[in-house]
Structure formats: structure tokens, C-alpha cells
Amino acid sequence: MLLERDGLLERLSGRLAEAAVGHGSLVLVAGEAGAGKTSLIRAFTDSLDDTALVLVGACDPLTTPRPLSPVRDFADQLPGLDLDRESIDVFSDVLDRVRHTKRPVVMVVEDIHWADAATLDFLRYMGRRVAESKAVIVCTYRDDEVTGSHPTRGVLGQLFPLRSTHRLEVPPLSIEAIRHLAADSAIEPEQLMRLTDGNAFFVTEVLAAGGGLPASVQDAVIARVGQLPDGARKVVDGVSVAPRSLEIPLAAAIAGVSLEEVDTAVGAGVLVEDGQSVRFRHELARAAVEESLPPARRLGLHLRMIEILQEQGSRDLARITHHAIRAGRGDLIVEYAPAAGDDAVRRGARREAVAFYRAALRYAHTLGTEPSARLRVKLATELRNLDRPEEAVAELEQAIADLRGIDHPRALAEALGQLQAALWYLRRYDEGWDAMNEALELLRADGPSETLGFNLYRVAHHHMLSRHAAPAFEAIAEARRVGEQVGSDTVRWLAGMMEGTIHIVVGDPDRGVALLEEAGAKAERDGNHAFASSAWGMLGTGGGEARRYEMAIQALERGIDVGLATDQDYTSRTTDPGSPASHSSRVAGTTRSPTPSSSPAPPCNGRGSRSS
């Protein structure tokens, strides 16, 4: 029974009516855990007929979430949606579908407080463009958890000011509603209100336990589960170790019972049907059951889940890794977590990648020296992308110490190059030059490579910042030759862009402007938006140094336009003409102590990441 929610349902229906005529919106449904957000959205979607397409996905409370989990949930309802492409291509495909659909779309994304980085990017992309579509994107989140530096808070801050964004708050139940719900119970409504503060979940669970007041919600949930037959109770235990939901055949398999026992658990109201899966009515109830399990029982269920997923040949690396972590199985964590981290990087979920890599490195002794060192370099790359350079330096120093004990010069050089970038970011310039010089010595001895080209590009960049024209031009000329030798378009492009920047700052400004305009235009033609925004950013900040202010502002604005159009928030922020990052305030330094650049650091890995 849904009480005191008619006004919220009317507002949702109004948004859908507007979407039907091409005025889409993003609706953010906020409330504490157990407030009734999911029940509200389910009542809304259940009231719709076939005139609207309903897509439902949810974020996972996994140890490390699956990238783009909500999109994966409803991908089957969008025939031809290929999730193996670059994330921006997936986002664009979904947007195109909701713009050109014949009937309006209700896209539900539940629990965005658990969203991975790729899902947050998806919401940011869609939220900025939903106004000109036939979609209502409805997101639920726990507003009491999205505070401080929570990653979801930053995305909400960007979306709230938009006219197409609307916030609905699900309030606690009033004493009148509680009196209505408790009419047939021996529990005094006023006492129930004091215990629950009107939280809909607490109210319903306490009432469902029947007779007497449990000391806690966990007690209420466990008391209800305890009334089930043995087989159904085993099903509930099994589902409790699978965050969010579990496919019905898996629910039976992990419990070692028949499918009929799953029906019994659903019929008793402890679990609810969710398509081809079953789940707890509330996440709080699931967590209460899982935490109540004896340690050995809980461990056994996680291990059994891993066995089932492996037997099925599951490719859901995040899911397997979650259960391996919960079970403390180091061998399985080492097997699955690195690949899960790589997949998270491909999806743009960098925080999740860090968690996966760190999980594997807890068992570094079983990986071997070189594999663990390479994994530390990957971890450091993502830590730098998350603006955590101190942590990156610590991981790289450990990796370098390990690699010095084995004969693998290329791996050592790559780690030293990454260390240089992190050290210079921290203004530890002398140490950075030492690392770079050693990396160059190793790489030159090993022959031409993209890695050598990337490191020479960095050297040229920092010589330019120190106003040392000759070594800057010398380094970028060598980088260009290396790019030609190894056939690397990325190195050649970076060399051209940096040559233009050097000319603007310490050479021929006219030549520099021409080279940077050519680099930016080529990147736009090739569809490489990250490179394009970097080129315009370099032209803008370099043009400011050359006192060509009108041209500089135009270039910065173009870089911002490209960055915003493709959701490159870092580039957009660092190329903002009004931000400190874009002010031409560099001063000349020494060769060993360059001044940090005011221009955005261009990508060096060919994929638009700041990882090199």
C-alpha cells in the first residue's frame, strides 16, 4: 500500500506527458535509505501502459561496481546496443534512440549513490542533452549518503542548475499514515513513529514481523525470515550474498534446492520477483540477512557463487571478483581482479579500477615480480588520473625497486617515465629529471618505441616551460623521428602540437599558431576530441603568453566547446579563460626546475587519458 505519494506520482506523470511531445527531463528522486523511493518508482512504472517504453537499471553495491551496470541491465531492450564500444559511442547511441523514438521512454536508474564512474559519466552526458528528447530519466539516490567528496555529488552539482533537471524528495510517513498502516496491529502508532521516524521501510518491516517490537530492524527482518520453511530460508540466505538481485536458477542452485523453494520465498514476501531474477524488497533487508549469517555459512555461499559463475563461463569479472574478495580467496582475486580493473579503465570507471588493482596487489607475492610491478604502474596511472599523485609516486617507487632486481629494461623505463610525470606534478623537479634521464637511457638502448616518443614529448614540454628553446626543439625533433620510425600517429601528432607550442613561447609565434591550428583541426577531423581540446588549450594558453589575447580567448573557447560537447570535464575546467589554470603566469626556470604548465596536459596514450 502506497500512502502519501499521490503528489509525487502526479509530478512524474507530468514529466512523462512533456517527454511525449519532445521535452525530456531528468528527475532526481532523493530520500534516505528505506524512504520508499523504489516503491514510488515501481508504482509509477506499473501505472504505465504500452504507450511508453520502460527501461529499468540499477547500480550495484558490489565491493567494486560493474562499469555501466544500469545500461547493462536494460541493454536487451535496446536491440543492437553494443556495450563493447568506447563509452562515448554507447552514450551517443542511447541518446539517439531516445531522441528518435516514436513513443516516450521512462529510463529508471536506481541507487546512483552506488554508481561507478562510467555510469556517472553516462548520467552527466544524458542529463545535459535529455531536454531535446522523448525521455524521462528517473534516478534514485540516498541524499544522506551523497555528501562531502562523494563522486555522485559532483555530477549532481553539474546537473541541478539545468532547467530540464527536477528534484523530488520522498518524505517520511506522517503519523496519520502510520496509524492507517498499524490499524490491525497491536503496536501503538506513536511508539512506532518514535522508533522509525516515519521511515517507510522500518515501519513496514516492524509491522511485518508481527507481534511485539523488535529491538532493531535487523531483528525484524531475521524474525520474518525465520518463519520460512528450511528450503526457502536457504534461498534467502543465498540471495543475501548477491547484492541487488540474483537470477532465479542461480538462487536455486546456490541454495541447493528446487525452483519451488524460490517461489515459496517470493510468496512469503521476503523476496520479490524482478523479471527473471529475485531480490529483497529493500537493500537494508538483504544486508541484514547477510550480516546475520554465521561466518562459515557466509564464506561457503560466496565460494559456491564463484563455482556457479565459473561453471557458466561468466564474463562478469566484477561480480566474480566481488565474491572472491568477500571469500578472501587470494588466488581468485589475483586471477580476476586485474582483468576487471582493465575493463573498468576501458569503461572510464577509474575509481573502480583502482579498487580492483589494489585488491590484486594485496596478494602481490603470488603474482611474481614483473607482473606485480606492471600492475603497480597501472594503478599509479589511474591514481594520477584521479589527481592522487602522492599515492601514485609511492606505487611507482615500489614498482621501480622491484624491477631493478630483474632484467627488464623496457618495463623499468616505463615505470620511470610515469614516476617523472607524477614527481613534476608535485614540483619535485630534480627527482623527476633524474627519473626521466634514466628512462631515456634505457629506452634509447632498447631501440625506437612509442614509449620513447612519449617520454621525449614530455622532455620537450618541460624544456619549453623553462624557456630553453634549443633542447626543447631538439627533444621534439627526436620524438618526431621516433614516431616516423615506429609508425605511431599518436607520437607524430603530439610532436607537431608541441613543436607549435614551443614556437609560440620561445620561437616563431606565427609558425606556432599555424602548427597548433593544423593539429587541432586534424584532431577534430579524425574525431579525436581529447586531442582537439588539448591543441586548442595549448594554442589558447600559449597565445596568451605571446600577448595575442583575442586569438587566445577564441582558442580557449573552442577548446571548452569541444570539451563540454564530449564531456571532458577536466579539459573544460583547465581551459576556462576565467580559471586560474588558464592565466599566463609562468616564469622562466632552470633546466632542472621547470615551472608547471598552465595549459592542460595533453594525452599521451592515444585514448584521451592523462595517463602519460
**Tens-place pLDDT, residues 103-129:** 999 999 999 999 999 999 999 999 999
Q: Which residues pair with 109 in a beta bridge?
A: 57, 139
Query: What's the confidence (pLDDT) of residue 119?
Result: 95
How does residue 214 score in pLDDT terms, banded at 50, 70 and 90? low
> Cell triple for residue 534?
588539448
| Under 8 Å between Cβ of 67 and 119 | yes
| Under 8 Å between Cβ of 440 and 455 | yes
Phi, psi for 515 (deg, rounded to 5): -65, -40
| Prediction pTM value | 0.75
Q: At what angle do helices 409-425 and 369-385 cross, to 10 degrees?
A: 30
With vertex at residue 202, the alpha carbon angle to CA 197 and CA 207, rounded to the nearest 5 degrees, is: 115
Helix (H, G, I), strand (E, B) or coil at 305: helix
Helix (H, G, I), strand (E, B) or coil at 172: coil
Query: What's the confidence (pLDDT) of residue 280?
Result: 87
More confident residue, 287 or 396: 396
| Under 8 Å between Cβ of 396 and 418 | yes
More confident residue, 588 or 319: 319
Between 55-64, 373-382, 576-585, the lowest mean confidence (pLDDT) is in 576-585
Q: Which residues pair with 58 in a beta bridge?
A: 110
Domains of the chain: residue spans and CATH: 6-169 (3.40.50.300), 179-323 (1.10.10), 368-447 (1.25.40.10)
> Cell triple for residue 51?
504507450
Residues 6 or more apart in contact with residue 116 via CB below 8 angstroms:
59, 65, 66, 67, 68, 69, 344, 347, 349, 351, 352
Q: Give 155-184 pLDDT, tens digit per residue.
A: 999 999 999 999 999 999 999 999 999 998
Q: What is the mean pLDDT of the chain?
A: 86
Cα distances from 93 to residues 54, 56, 122, 247, in angstroms, run 17, 17, 11, 28
Residue 590 per-residue DSSP state: B
Look at residue 212 and tell me whether its pLDDT is greater than 80: no
Q: Residue 111: left (phi > 0), alpha (psi -120 to 50), or beta? A: left
